[in-house]
Amino acid sequence: MGKRITATVIGRQPFGVFVRIRDVPDAVGLAEVVGMPPDLELPQLGAQVEGRVVDHVEHNHQVRIALDGWTPPWDDGSASRLWA
């Protein structure tokens, strides 16, 4: 956790964006809209984004990401409880 990543947006949903992480083809990342500042819009499909890993679930290769400029509300350690 805490690793810096570069990724490509592969899906947009009302709750956030899904990303494909560069150099980790099996992992799918999720950046949730709850951490997005109100004056920003979701990145477009195909957009290159950067951020950091805040949680991961190894058995299904899911990664929770805080995009640069977004403030994740789960930085208090609650992420592991949410994704268990």
Cβ–Cβ contacts within 10 Å for residue 15, how many?
11
pLDDT at 3 over 80: yes
Structural domains in the chain plus CATH codes: 4-82 (2.40.50.140)
Tell me: the pLDDT tens digits for 12-45? 998 999 999 998 878 889 988 887 888 888 999 9
pLDDT of 11 reads: 96
pLDDT of residue 73: 53
Count Cβ atoms below 10 Å from residue 8 Cβ, excluding itself: 16
At 7, the pLDDT band (50, 70, 90 cuts) reads very high
- The secondary element (H helix, E strand) that includes residue 79 is helix 79-82
* 3 state DSSP class of 14: coil
